[in-house]
Structure 1
Amino acid sequence: MNTIHHRIGALTESTEPVYEALTTIDGLANWWTVDTTGDASIGGKIEFRFPPGGFDMEVVELEPGAFVRWRVVDGPPEWIGTHIEFRLSRSDGYTIVNFAHTGWAEPVEFLSHCSTKWATYLLSLKQYAETGTGSPSPDDVQISDWD
């Protein structure tokens, strides 16, 4: 199995602003995609829509202020059954986000594209946590013809 990993730090007073950005529909819509709907509680399903398509995630695990885990239940075939995890910790005034998108069956070109897109969205998460304004889709950085 293949995994995408990223690490960012957001200058915040606690993990709470980042955790809220990951666990509320409004928070998610402010850094990932404005077209976000659903139920962000454990067992709920969140629908994320983008101009070229979308993903549905089941919320699998939430540890307040520390951990979020989703399972992809609908979207591109390469994503179905994969997991997305955000581990939060504190270091020198920063909330550290250790991100992983696990379970990719093959190291296909789409994995490389998604890795770069995740990096841009994690920077949007950082921006949103620090300033209250992110760069969610459709106002995100366009990196290729797949956007």
Structure 2
Amino acid sequence: MAGGHSLKHEIFISADASKVRTALSTSEGLRGWNTPHVSGKGELGTEWALKYTDRPEFLWRVDLDNPEEILWTCTKGPGDAVGTTAKFTITSLDDGRTRVRVAHGGWPHDEVNFVKCNTIWGALMDHLREYVETGVSEPAFS
């Protein structure tokens, strides 16, 4: 699904980029901030299965994984989510922090699930920051 709408978030994490990458690219890391119900290996071409209590399941295929960028493509999810992409850009800053940007793009419009996902990504990014900075697992969703 090709579309011209992207939602974007940016956070600054008081931790080194390798800790952020681990949180974004391992099942243990994803369980720490996203959902405790994660399966997959996170290798290129494989899929993450993210399950949520009383919410739709998402499958995200890993299409890019390098030190500065991680790209997932949604292969299963509700509404217009299938075919959208989540691109994480990870940048080490001179002050020791790491900037993380997520762009969830490919939406055919900026309504309904787009608006809902924008709110959800905001919450997820906050949980990512807390998890990486403290090491305490507190997923945004169960």
TM-score using structure 1 length: 0.89
Contact conserved, 2:47 with 2:62, CA < 8 A, in 1? yes
The alpha carbon displacement at 1:134 in A equals: 4.1
Provide, for residues 40-62 of structure 1, a one-character-per-residue CA deviation record: whole Å limited to 9, x for no partner. Answer: 01011110011211100110000
Aligned to 1:131: 134
The alpha carbon displacement at 1:20 in A equals: 0.4
Determine which structure has the larger helix proportion and give its number.
2
Provide, for residues 96-123 of structure 1, a one-character-per-residue CA deviation record: whole Å limited to 9, x for no partner. Answer: 0011001001112221111011011101
Between the aligned partners of 2:12 and 2:122, the Cα distance in structure 1 is 12
Contact conserved, 2:70 with 2:88, CA < 8 A, in 1? yes
Number of aligned positions between the proteins: 137
Aligned to 1:99: 102
Aligned to 1:26: 28
Q: Taking every aligned residue pair, what percent have the same amino acid on both sides?
A: 28
Contact conserved, 1:47 with 1:57, CA < 8 A, in 2? yes
Contact conserved, 1:50 with 1:137, CA < 8 A, in 2? no
- 2:12 maps to amino acid: G
C-alpha RMSD over aligned residues: 1.2
Determine which structure has the larger strand proportion and give its number.
1
Between the aligned partners of 1:56 and 1:136, the Cα distance in structure 2 is 18
Aligned to 1:143: none
Between the aligned partners of 2:35 and 2:23, the Cα distance in structure 1 is 12
- 2:45 maps to amino acid: G
